[in-house]
Amino acid sequence: MSTLTAAPITAPTIEYGELAPMLIIFGAAMIGVLVEAFTPRYLRKSIQMPITVLSMVGAFALTVWQGVRGVRSAAAMGAIAVDGPSLFIWGAILLLAIVSVLLINDDDHFVAEAAAVPGSAEEDQALSQGGAHTEIYPLVLFAVGGMMLFPAANDLLIMFVALEVMSLPLYLLCGLARRRRLLSQEAAMKYFLLGAFSSAFFLYGTALLYGFAGSVDLKAIATALSTVGGQDALLFIGAATLGVGLLFKIGAAPFQAWKPDVYQGSPTPITALMASGTLIAAFGALLRVFWVALGDLDAEWTPVLWGVAILTMVVGAVLAITQTDIKRMLAYSSIAHTGFLLTAVVATGKESQNANALSGILFYLLAYGFATVGAFAVVTMVRDPGGEAGHLSRWAGLGKRSPLLAGIFALFLLAFAGIPLTSGFFGKYAVFAAAVAGGAVQLVIVGVVTSAMAAFFYVRVIVLMFFSDPAPEGPTIAVPSMGTAAVVTLSAAATVVLGVFPQPVLDLAHTAAQSLFVR
Amino acid sequence: MELYVPILVLAVLAAGFAVFSVGIAPFTGPKRWNRAKLDGYECGIEPTPQPVGGGRFPLKYMITAMLFIVFDIEIIFLYPWAVAFDKLGVFGLVEMVLFIVTVLVAYAYVWRRRGLDWD
């Protein structure tokens, strides 16, 4: 007792200004919860939507301002790193979240009451009582806040908290699809159980690394690598289990099993948010852990990640070929892209934990994010009577019935395939170039071969859309709402602009990457 | 390593006792049928009726349990702060108020959306 009362406590300093983008998002989420509590039902949506979008725009503006000021610091006693990569990732996540929210704003995607069937009397009753879940907006804000904190966390405990703040709202959102309720609930259940499992791995790794280094701070762990001896078991098992937790979140093989089920079952706007935002956030966190904390251990983890990268690329590309559902195909394509990105992580080695690889990954993530959100936005517009026309055979001849929409979708697919003049080309080029510079030529060869395999199933969909006869009772093309139209337009514009004039964004990524990670 | 021997012995004893108890029960225990034995166990009170074969069931117990955990955690954080209240000074007070406000927001939501009503 005496030691407890005698020890002086110095108050920590917290740089509220530098953390402002995140604080705005979390604050807006709290206000959103209060709106749910205190405003009449018919007003909620018209209040929630502006709060969500304005807070994201405000946070984005602040992030840009900090980038202009050149903020590079470890805030909150070194627990949160506000550095170049963090700011770039924040900006990317916020942009993609704004676009996704425009898609989420469409009424049609979310269930009014968990047990109601679309179009039934029960649903009408739930809707007339204002049962529609406007909680979606605060949940999205919490998830986005978590996504921002996750890659910026400079401390394993903060990273874990961020992981949960990011994941828990997403588990809920996955289960709210209006149509195909069982699939949606199955997705939420699987995501939750597997996510909880991977969180446990993450925590276990954190505990072991704490046992090794005596600290959860990434910098302290890096220092301990050279000063602490004879604790290799703790270090290796800790690093491995921590890696499992992170690789699960990016969906690398052999931890990819959740991705197709979750992407398929979730409401498509939420899939768009997850496939873009979560991937960016998780990659940021993965890089920070492996480059900052475990940078000097690269001789041990590089071979493992080689295997993971090859397996991820092959599994993603091969299994995507056999898919018949458009959302599952995009999910496997996301797995393949995770593998392509991993080549740059793996190949950098130690001395080349360099700005080039980092800027390549950052650019790739942004380009891929926009193409993904756009592709899922198109998926929401191709409808059967029972909801979205998921089966690929239903997409046959779409190009003859709606050339514009099919053309835009083809653009996104070409961007995924990495065809020149689309954003995907420069992304893939930057990542593979970094990998070659890092000496991972074999890995790049596997990458190029699997890219060719991936191009096959992207082009197959394009051929199906433009050169097949339309199905007699083909799907209808929904007239897009303002939001959906804006999403498709913005994503297509970003994909083309990043493919034709990538230099400004490449420069930005390069500037952001120059500081590497603040230690 | 010798320090861990008692723990190991205790673990073996505990595991042995558990296996022994479960294993011996079917042979030695009396088997008198009683309807209450097959009911769901809800802390000794009459179980809430449930539709046969699943169906919709009320979530009120779960909501109560979740709320309990939220406020329980809040108290866990309040204790150490209360002990070191004067040392932490204004900073501690402000942070604690912010923390309580966030919990309060969740509380307001639950209260307004009738999460506290039993029926």
**pLDDT tens-digit profile of A238-286?**
999 999 999 999 999 899 999 999 999 999 999 999 999 999 999 999 9
Q: What is the reported pTM?
A: 0.89
Percentage of chain A surpassing pLDDT 70? 95
Contact B91 A115 (CB under 8 A): no
Please count the CA atoms within 13 angstroms of the CA of A173 that sit on its side-chain side: 28
| Residue pair A480/A366 in contact by the 8 Å Cβ criterion | no
Cβ <8 Å between A37 and B112: yes
Cβ(A127)–Cβ(A73) below 8 Å? no
Q: Rounded CA gap, A103 and A365, in Å?
A: 20
Do the beta carbons of residue A233 and residue A306 sit within 8 Å? no
Radius of gyration for chain B, computed over Cα atoms and rounded to the nearest angstrom: 24
Given an 8 Å threshold on Cβ–Cβ distance, is B112 in contact with A115? no
Q: Helix axis angle, A84-104 relative to A355-381, nearest 10°?
A: 0
Distance separating alpha carbons of residues A479 and A381, to the nearest angstrom: 7
Architecture of domain B2-112: Up-down Bundle (1.20)
- Helix (H/G/I), strand (E/B), else coil: A10: coil
CA A475 – CA A11 distance, rounded (Å): 62
The per-residue pLDDT of chain A, averaged, comes to 89
Residues within 8 A of B (CB atoms), A 94-153 only: 115
Average pLDDT over every residue of A401-413? 93
ipTM: 0.83
Cβ(A268)–Cβ(A380) below 8 Å: yes
Chain B environment of A11 (Cβ under 8 Å):
88-89, 91-92
How far apart (Å, rounded) are the C-alpha atoms in residues B15 and A483?
61
Where does the pLDDT of residue A115 fall: very low under 50, low under 70, confident under 90, or very high at 90 and above?
low
Instruction: For residue B87, give how far its alpha carbon lies from the nearest alpha carbon of chain A (Å).
Output: 6
Determine the average pLDDT of the residues in A433-460: 91
Do residue A12 and residue B113 have CB atoms under 8 angstroms apart?
Answer: no
A110 vs A176: CA distance, rounded Å: 5
From the list A30, A33, A115, the residue facing B56 with the nearest CB is A115
Contact A30 B105 (CB under 8 A): yes
Q: What angle do CA A200, A23, B99 make, to 5 degrees?
A: 70
Cβ–Cβ gap B84/A9 under 8 Å: yes
Which pLDDT score, from 0 to 100, does residue A6 have? Answer: 57
- In the prediction, which pLDDT does A2 show? 47
- Chain B residues lying within 8 Å of A28, measured CB to CB: none
Cβ contact B108–A12 (<8 Å): no
Tens digits of residue pLDDT in A180-235 = 888 899 999 999 999 999 999 999 999 999 999 999 999 999 999 889 878 888 99
The reported pLDDT for the residue numbered A350 is: 59
Q: Show residues of chain A in contact with B88, CB under 8 Å.
A: 9, 11
How many CA atoms lie within 13 Å of B73's alpha carbon, on the beta-carbon side?
9
Is the separation of the CB atoms in A151 and A281 below 8 Å? yes
Q: Closest to B89 (Cβ–Cβ): which among A11, A34, A38?
A: A11
Sequence ranges of the domains in chain A: 14-514
Chain A residue with the nearest C-alpha to that of B81? A9
CB A190 within 8 A of CB A256: no
Domain parsing of chain B, residue ranges: 2-112
A38, B112 contact by CB (below 8 A): yes
